[in-house]
Chains A and B, each alone.
Chain A
Amino acid sequence: MLASRIFKTASFRLSALYGGVFASGFGALLIITYFTATTALREQIRTEVQRDLHALSVEAGADGLDTIIQDINERIQPVSGSTAYYFLADASGQKLAGNLTGIALRDGWQEAPLDASTIKNPETSVDEDHQLWGQGIHLANGAFLLAGQDAYRVLSAQEAIINSFAWSAGISFLLAALGGVVVSQGFLRRIDAINTTSHAIIDGNLKRRIPVRGTSDEIDRLSMNLNRLFDSNQSLLESLKQVSTSIAHDLRTPLSRLRQGLEEAHLQNNKSAHKAAIEAAIIESDQLLATFSALLRIAQIESGTRRAGFKQVSLTDIFEQVADTYRAVAEDQQKEMKLLVEQGITIVGDRDLLTQMLVNLLENALNHTPAKTTISLSLKQSDAGPIGIIADSGAGIPGDERQKVFERFYRRDSSRSTPGSGLGLPLAAAIASMHAVTLELHDNEPGLKVVLGFK
């Protein structure tokens, strides 16, 4: 099973291909070396033979055949290392001297197999290939002379070349294939880890993550990206779950109130009671609709489609306009509103949504603080970008609850009696995240400080 999978992996195929290319390279090297070496050795033997033949024929021209016969007989004495062969015949073809038999009386180069019996050099083993390479010539008096060499040196060199190449090519191909198996097994193990994790997540084990080696190679990076994908997937699913649960819980109450009111009115037979019940029902359903549209709005903001319409907007203007609008509201609630805004601060964003974000944060401060509170709005430029702060001197939010207030429908126990849908802060958070604005809640000692880090 694993073996067949290894053959199918990309890295194995790649290493097999690599081995193949490597072996072909060896092949080419073999052919070149083979021919170069053979040609050089052949030339060497040819030169030797020709020199020998030339010396003997010159001798024959000067002193006659007898001297050559004597000379040849001397030369064919078994001397260590000698691989020379000679053949001399008279004009009628009768052998006069030499250590060869059955030679074609033909002028020029000839290559013929050497009989084992005629191999005279005891040092050259009989096992090796032996071949006579020689050149024949007809002398002036009609006699035939052939000088030659045993070409076993060339032949064994050729064999040695082929053998060594065959071995090294075989070994290198084997090593490449083995390397391929090892590499692909390592690769496969890591892919398997990714697959196992994915399957576990598909099966509902959302918390599983792909192990990361920390080498930040390609697979590590892939794993990290997939893990990030799983993270966002998990948080989306969790928020979806939370929203569905919240909708079920939080919309039940107003819906039951609506139904109860209508039922009571139905039982009564009084026109003015009917009218009051209908009015109450309209108000109740308006609130329900407002909740729904706020949820929809959050979903649409989170989908991020509105980013396409981003423009340069003046944060200074937005802060000033919102402060001007709400100063009267604060005064009516006997609260003081302070504004400290630097001029000319702009960002790229959606003016409507940024206004709503600031309004929601400010209304949150107004709705959850007692009279005599001071609420301050400030905007200043910093090295990292503009910083907006909405701070109040109210009761604040304890540290462990600060993150929860961004959850949809979350209402702190202490604020159940104050107006609000529990969607104002989540909406502000969605707008902030769409603008890549960091939204942090801090202790204002006393009170709550909302810090907006614009980019």
Chain B
Amino acid sequence: MKLLLIEDDKRMADFIQRGLKEHGHVVDHAENGKDGLFLAASGKYDAAVVDRMLPGLDGLSIVKMLRATGNHTPALFLTTMAGIDDRVEGLEAGADDYLVKPFAFAELLARLGALMRRPPVSGVQTELQVGDLKMELLTRHVTRAGQTLDLQPQEFKLLEYFMRSEGRVVTRTMLLENVWDFHFDPQTSVVETHISRLRAKIDKGFQTEFLKTVRGAGYCLRAG
């Protein structure tokens, strides 16, 4: 994948660049807003990582300008402010995701993965399938190997998110934000509790475990 990194802090930029390259991505780096906008406008990137605070032209303006010219390169904002308004502001400007510095590299990688492989908005999907795990979205009927699974509403939502992110690492924060709409860090093991309950329902008694824990990063749903 070809990625654009717009970041003025040299250490942070090196850290991100090295990490992304290790994971097989090609990274172009712009040190300021102007160069970044120029590169992003070429439209040849699969996704852009944009720092909010940049000399000259700030990240918010870059994304706004890109969107105004019809450029829909997925953009992920990086920010040092743990601001509660910043997330809303960033998403309103047209960014697709948002990450607060400092972050675990696995978190950035997982979020970029979700951005780049976002399925094109096509016809209405009525069924999701991962291996022998099937989910009918209209009847909310879930089966594994033909066997009906009885899921609570929140477990259904959680599984749906995993099935839509098949094969990708999903972090705890991503689950909190996308499944529960919690934009804060709970002090109890709420995610772990729901994961273990879901796992007990979809994997227990079956030969292969689909819902895997990725150490230091999160979870991943994969057939086999």
Contacts and interface: CB of A to CB of B under 8 A. Distances in A.
A305 B154 CA distance: 32
A445 interface: no
Nearest to B196: A332
B187 A367 contact: yes
Given A293-B100, A424-B187, A356 B85 contact: no
B43 interface: no
A356 B187 contact: no
A444 interface: no
A119 B111 CA distance: 123
A363 B183 contact: no
A40 interface: no
Contact of B85 (A290, A305, A325, A355): A305
The binding surface of chain B is classed by DSSP as loop
B190 interface: yes
Given A324-B154, A359-B182, A301 B102 contact: no
Interface in B71-89: 81-85, 88
**Chain A CB within 10 Å — which of B81, B82, B88, B194 has the most?**
B82
A154 to B, nearest CB: 87
A353 B193 contact: no
B187 A309 contact: no
Interface string A406-423: 000000000000011100
A356 B181 CA distance: 10
A297 B182 contact: no
B22 interface: no
Interface in A421-455: 421, 424
B154 A356 contact: no
B184 to A, nearest CB: 5
* Contact-size category for A: 20 to 34
Nearest to B102: A289
B100 A329 contact: no
B154 A325 contact: yes
A297 B190 contact: no
A359 B190 CA distance: 11
Interface string A272-304: 000000000010001001101100110011000
Given A325-B154, A325-B180, A297 B186 contact: no
**Chain B CB within 10 Å — which of A301, A325, A353 has the most?**
A325
B188 A366 contact: yes
A355 B153 CA distance: 18
A222 interface: no
Contact of B153 (A290, A324, A332): A324
A301 B181 CA distance: 19
A109 interface: no
B187 A328 contact: no
Given A332-B193, A420-B187, A424-B187, A300 B182 contact: no
B190 A421 contact: no
A421 B185 CA distance: 12
B84 A419 contact: no
A363 B189 CA distance: 10
B25 interface: no
The binding surface of chain A is classed by DSSP as helix
Nearest to B83: A300
B184 A356 contact: yes
A5 interface: no
Contacts of B197: 328
B194 A328 contact: yes
Interface in A97-131: none
Contacts of A328: 190, 193-194, 197
A266 interface: no
B186 A293 contact: no
B167 to A, nearest CB: 26
Interface in B165-224: 180-190, 193-194, 197
A359 B180 CA distance: 12
Contacts of B100: 293
Interface string A348-366: 0000110110011001001
B181 A309 contact: no
Contacts of A326: 188, 190
A356 B81 CA distance: 19
Contacts of B83: 296, 300
Contact of A300 (B84, B181, B185, B188): B84
Given A355-B181, A356-B182, A359-B182, A329 B84 contact: no
B188 A363 contact: yes
Interface string A294-322: 00110011000110010000000000010
A352 B182 CA distance: 7
B187 A421 contact: yes
Contacts of B187: 360, 363, 367, 419-421, 424
Contacts of A292: 82
Interface of B: 81-85, 88, 100, 102, 104, 152-154, 180-190, 193-194, 197
15 contacts: A300-B83, A300-B85, A301-B84, A309-B85, A309-B88, A325-B190, A329-B189, A329-B193, A352-B184, A359-B186, A363-B186, A363-B187, A367-B188, A420-B187, A421-B187
Given A329-B188, A352-B84, A359-B186, 17 more contacts: A282-B104, A286-B104, A292-B82, A296-B81, A297-B84, A309-B85, A309-B88, A328-B190, A329-B189, A329-B190, A352-B181, A352-B183, A352-B184, A367-B187, A419-B188, A420-B187, A421-B187
List 7 A-B pairs, minimum CB-CB distance, nearest first: A293-B82, A356-B184, A296-B82, A328-B193, A363-B187, A329-B193, A363-B188
